[in-house]
């Protein structure tokens, strides 16, 4: 055997060895991936019947339905304060008193001025009566040519002057009477009464404090008319306000009673927006019952506005719509088996879930209804008991 034959045999053996190695590696890869595919497990959930609510989550503040701010019409020093926080008051009950010394002096002065004006009127009327008699005598004498015409003119002027004085006196009486009435009203303002039945939720002055009513009415107290009925002022984001209507139901909780849900009804959707840090919200008023007295003004409420409700409908978890399997062409090994073209794009836009058929995810188009954020109503496409894929469990156990 020559050297060339020896080299040829060695080369053939090396080529055969390389081929065997490649076959072994390819087989290993095929075994590994086929085994990996077999180990993929899908997490599934049954479609079931349940009641469902579509809600809008928001926060709000509790307040009395009607709160009256009781103020004082006059300036002065608070002489007495008869109420405190949480005091129950009746309509017409005195709640505070302003020192009335100045007002009493004003009344006395106005009464004196009125008496003087009445006395002046009596004097003016007496002068007028004399002037009227004198004018009558003068005219009779003038008719007999016993006095000159100028004397008659003088008496007529005196009469008219006296008559004007009487009118002026009467006007002064009316003026002083009005002043007296005003001072009496101001004297009455020194005693402050509750305008409604209710509960004092704020006391804004103390005994001895000076209040000034120059430009605005100073507040003495705030009285909630009826705390058995309250309201929640809910701030709803502009993205959600389109789903809110008057008459809708609402539920909420407060931090003071986290395990006690409360319910109410939307009574008003205010059109005026509020903008804070470029976030636009609208105020929604929810009226609630507070017969047990657990709710207090100022509490923060975590509100769920019920947009829609469904009873006994088929539902699946929202995670079923988020699940998307790997490209089918990668699993099946068939070129072109993946979704392509206009038809595929249109189909992808339609809501769909996946079910397992022959160990393979199959896309099922469905018609969706309302959602509560965790589950979604299925109007058509699935039946009760159908199992839909919500995720996968990989070999190491991670979901």
Tell me what pLDDT residue 326 has: 75
Contacts of 353 (CB under 8 A, 6+ apart): 316, 320, 321, 323, 363, 364, 366, 381, 382, 388, 389
Distance separating alpha carbons of residues 167 and 160, to the nearest angstrom: 11
What is the torsional sign of CA 377, 379, 383, 384?
A: positive
Burial 66-99 (b: 16+ CB within 10 A, else e): eeeebbbebebebeebebeeebebeeeeebbbbe
Residue 272 makes CB contacts below 8 A (sequence gap 6+) with 282, 283
Distances (CA, A) of 240 to 2, 6, 83, 166, 325: 92, 86, 44, 75, 32
* Confidence check: pLDDT of 334 > 50: no
- Hey, what domains does the chain have and what are their CATH numbers? 39-51+314-393 (2.40.420.20), 56-65+224-311 (2.40.30.170), 100-189 (1.10.287.470)
Where are the alpha helices (H) located in the chain, listed in sequence order?
A: 3-39, 101-143, 149-189, 319-322, 328-332, 341-349
Cα radius of gyration rounded to whole Å, the chain = 48
Confidence of residue 138 (pLDDT cuts 50, 70, 90): confident
Work out the percent of the chain whose per-residue pLDDT is above 70: 84
What pLDDT does residue 269 have? Answer: 97
Residue 318 tokens, joined: 């929202």
Mean pLDDT to the nearest integer, 64-83:
94
Measured CA distances, 263 to 13, 43, 64, 175, 259 (Å)? 86, 37, 16, 60, 13
User: Looking only at Cα atoms, what is the longest distance across the chain?
Assistant: 193
Specify the residue for token string 């979604």.
376
pLDDT, the chain, mean = 86
Burial (CB count <10 Å: 0-12, 13-18, 19+), residue 385: exposed
Convert the pLDDT of each residue in 163-210 to its tens digit: 999 999 999 999 999 999 999 999 999 999 999 999 999 999 999 999
Q: Report pLDDT for 226.
A: 86
Distances (CA, A) of 169 to 114, 127, 293, 361: 10, 12, 63, 107
Burial class of 300 by CB neighbour count within 10 A (0 to 12, 13 to 18, 19+): middle
Q: Is the pLDDT of residue 28 over 60?
A: no
**For residue 346, what pLDDT is reported?**
52
Residue whose structure tokens are 């100045």: 102
> What span, in angstroms and rounded, lies between the C-alpha atoms of 206 and 193?
16
For residues 300 and 58, the answer to whether their CB atoms sit within 8 Å is: no
């Amino acid at each position: 055997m020559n050297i060339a034959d020896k080299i040829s045999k060695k080369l053939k053996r090396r080529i055969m060895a390389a081929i065997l190695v490649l076959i072994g590696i390819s087989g290993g890869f095929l075994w590994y991936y086929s085994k990996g595919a077999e180990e993929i497990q899908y997490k599934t959930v049954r479609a079931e019947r349940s009641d469902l609510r579509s809600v809008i989550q928001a926060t709000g503040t509790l307040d009395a339905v009607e709160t009256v701010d009781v103020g004082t019409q006059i300036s002065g020093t608070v002489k007495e304060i008869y109420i405190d926080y949480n005091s129950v008051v009746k309509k017409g009950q005195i709640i505070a008193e302003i020192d009335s010394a100045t007002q009493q002096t004003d009344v006395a002065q106005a009464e004196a001025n009125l008496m003087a004006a009445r006395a002046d009127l009596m004097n003016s009327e007496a002068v007028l009566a004399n002037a009227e008699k004198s004018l009558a005598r003068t005219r009779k004498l003038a008719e007999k040519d016993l006095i000159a015409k100028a004397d008659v003119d003088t008496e007529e002027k005196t009469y008219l002057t006296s008559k004007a004085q009487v009118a002026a006196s009467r006007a002064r009486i009316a003026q002083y009477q009005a002043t007296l009435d005003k001072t009496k009203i101001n004297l009455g303002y020194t005693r402050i009464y509750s305008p409604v039945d209710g509960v004092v939720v704020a006391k804004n002055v103390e005994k001895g404090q000076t209040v000034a009513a120059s430009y605005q009415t100073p507040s003495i107290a705030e009285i909630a008319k009826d705390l058995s009925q309250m309201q929640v002022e809910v701030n709803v984001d502009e993205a959600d306000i389109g789903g809110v209507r008057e008459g809708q139901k609402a539920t909420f909780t407060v931090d003071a009673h986290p395990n006690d849900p409360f319910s109410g009804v939307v009574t008003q959707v205010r059109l005026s927006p509020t903008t804070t840090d470029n976030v636009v919200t609208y105020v929604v008023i929810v009226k609630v019952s507070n017969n047990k007295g657990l709710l207090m003004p100022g509490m923060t409420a975590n509100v769920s506005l019920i947009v829609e409700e469904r009873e006994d409908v088929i539902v699946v978890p929202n995670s079923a719509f988020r699940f998307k399997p790997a490209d089918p062409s990668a699993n099946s090994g068939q070129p072109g088996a993946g979704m392509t073209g206009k038809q595929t794009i249109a189909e992808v836009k339609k809501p769909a879930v996946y079910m397992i058929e022959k160990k393979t995810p199959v896309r099922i188009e469905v018609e969706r209804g309302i959602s509560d954020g965790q589950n979604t109503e299925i109007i058509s496409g699935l039946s009760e008991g159908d199992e839909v894929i919500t995720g996968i469990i990989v070999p190491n156990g991670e979901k």
